[in-house]
Protein backbone atom coordinates (compact mmCIF):
# COMPACT_ATOMS: atom_id res chain seq x y z
CA UNK A 1 0.00 0.00 0.00
CA UNK A 2 1.57 3.23 1.00
CA UNK A 3 1.29 5.46 -2.02
CA UNK A 4 -1.71 7.69 -2.63
CA UNK A 5 -3.95 4.66 -2.69
CA UNK A 6 -4.76 5.30 0.94
CA UNK A 7 -5.97 8.70 -0.16
CA UNK A 8 -9.22 7.11 -1.24
CA UNK A 9 -9.60 5.54 2.18
CA UNK A 10 -8.77 8.84 3.82
CA UNK A 11 -11.54 10.52 1.89
CA UNK A 12 -14.00 7.86 2.97
CA UNK A 13 -12.89 8.15 6.58
CA UNK A 14 -13.17 11.91 6.39
CA UNK A 15 -16.80 11.74 5.28
CA UNK A 16 -17.70 9.04 7.81
CA UNK A 17 -16.17 11.13 10.59
CA UNK A 18 -18.43 14.00 9.54
CA UNK A 19 -21.53 11.95 10.30
CA UNK A 20 -23.23 13.67 13.26
CA UNK A 21 -24.16 11.90 16.46
CA UNK A 22 -27.33 9.85 16.21
CA UNK A 23 -27.22 9.92 12.42
CA UNK A 24 -26.32 7.33 9.79
CA UNK A 25 -25.24 7.35 6.16
CA UNK A 26 -25.08 4.96 3.23
CA UNK A 27 -22.25 3.66 1.10
CA UNK A 28 -23.82 5.14 -2.01
CA UNK A 29 -24.18 8.57 -0.42
CA UNK A 30 -20.59 8.54 0.74
CA UNK A 31 -19.32 7.28 -2.59
CA UNK A 32 -21.33 9.98 -4.33
CA UNK A 33 -19.93 12.61 -2.00
CA UNK A 34 -16.47 11.43 -2.96
CA UNK A 35 -17.32 11.88 -6.60
CA UNK A 36 -17.57 8.15 -7.29
CA UNK A 37 -21.24 7.24 -6.98
CA UNK A 38 -20.54 3.87 -8.57
CA UNK A 39 -17.83 3.07 -6.07
CA UNK A 40 -20.24 2.22 -3.28
CA UNK A 41 -18.70 -1.21 -3.17
CA UNK A 42 -15.25 0.25 -2.94
CA UNK A 43 -16.42 2.40 -0.04
CA UNK A 44 -17.36 -0.78 1.78
CA UNK A 45 -13.92 -2.09 1.01
CA UNK A 46 -12.42 1.03 2.51
CA UNK A 47 -14.52 0.48 5.61
CA UNK A 48 -12.93 -2.93 5.87
CA UNK A 49 -9.70 -1.12 6.54
CA UNK A 50 -11.42 1.40 8.82
CA UNK A 51 -10.70 -0.93 11.72
CA UNK A 52 -7.25 0.62 11.77
CA UNK A 53 -8.87 3.95 12.54
CA UNK A 54 -10.57 4.06 15.91
CA UNK A 55 -12.12 7.39 15.00
CA UNK A 56 -14.12 6.05 12.09
CA UNK A 57 -17.72 5.30 13.14
CA UNK A 58 -18.27 2.50 10.65
CA UNK A 59 -21.35 1.49 12.62
CA UNK A 60 -23.00 4.64 11.27
CA UNK A 61 -22.53 3.43 7.72
CA UNK A 62 -25.11 1.05 6.31
CA UNK A 63 -26.41 0.05 2.90
CA UNK A 64 -29.09 2.00 1.07
CA UNK A 65 -31.80 -0.01 2.82
CA UNK A 66 -30.55 0.99 6.25
CA UNK A 67 -29.57 -2.60 6.94
CA UNK A 68 -26.47 -3.36 8.98
CA UNK A 69 -24.86 -5.35 6.21
CA UNK A 70 -21.42 -4.97 7.73
CA UNK A 71 -22.33 -6.05 11.24
CA UNK A 72 -20.57 -9.35 10.62
CA UNK A 73 -17.30 -7.51 10.38
CA UNK A 74 -17.57 -6.20 13.91
CA UNK A 75 -15.91 -7.99 16.80
CA UNK A 76 -19.25 -8.80 18.41
CA UNK A 77 -22.54 -10.08 17.08
CA UNK A 78 -24.73 -7.10 17.91
CA UNK A 79 -22.00 -4.61 18.68
CA UNK A 80 -22.91 -2.46 15.72
CA UNK A 81 -26.58 -2.46 16.67
CA UNK A 82 -25.82 -1.63 20.29
CA UNK A 83 -23.64 1.26 19.24
CA UNK A 84 -26.41 2.73 17.10
CA UNK A 85 -28.98 2.26 19.83
CA UNK A 86 -26.59 3.93 22.25
CA UNK A 87 -26.68 6.97 19.96
CA UNK A 88 -30.45 7.06 19.84
CA UNK A 89 -30.82 5.11 16.60
CA UNK A 90 -33.44 2.41 16.90
CA UNK A 91 -32.45 -0.85 15.25
CA UNK A 92 -34.64 -3.89 14.72
CA UNK A 93 -33.60 -7.10 13.01
CA UNK A 94 -30.33 -5.52 11.84
CA UNK A 95 -32.35 -2.75 10.23
CA UNK A 96 -32.56 0.90 11.25
CA UNK A 97 -36.01 2.16 12.22
CA UNK A 98 -37.07 5.42 10.56
CA UNK A 99 -33.93 5.17 8.50
CA UNK A 100 -35.02 8.15 6.41
CA UNK A 101 -35.12 10.30 9.53
CA UNK A 102 -31.70 9.20 10.71
CA UNK A 103 -30.20 9.27 7.24
CA UNK A 104 -27.57 11.94 6.75
CA UNK A 105 -26.21 12.97 3.36
CA UNK A 106 -22.70 14.52 3.38
CA UNK A 107 -22.98 16.78 0.35
CA UNK A 108 -26.46 17.94 1.30
CA UNK A 109 -25.61 18.76 4.89
CA UNK A 110 -22.19 19.90 3.91
Instruction: Give the residues lining the site for DNA (CB under 7 A).
Output: 1, 5-6, 8-9, 26-28, 36, 38-45, 47-48, 50-51, 58-59, 61, 63-65, 69-70, 72-74, 80
**Closer by beta carbon to DNA, 70 or else 96:** 70
Task: Give 41 or 101: the residue with its C-beta nearer to DNA.
Answer: 41
Output the DSSP codes for 39-56: GHHHHHHHHHTGGG-TT-
Number of other residues whose CB lies within 10 A of the CB of residue 54: 7
What is the smallest separation between the CB atom of 85 and DNA, expressed in angstroms?
16
Backbone φ, ψ for residue 34 (5° rounding): -85, -10
Amino acid sequence: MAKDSTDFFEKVYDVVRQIPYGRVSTYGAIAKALGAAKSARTVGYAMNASHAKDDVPAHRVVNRNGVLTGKHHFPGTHVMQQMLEAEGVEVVDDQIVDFDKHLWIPEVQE
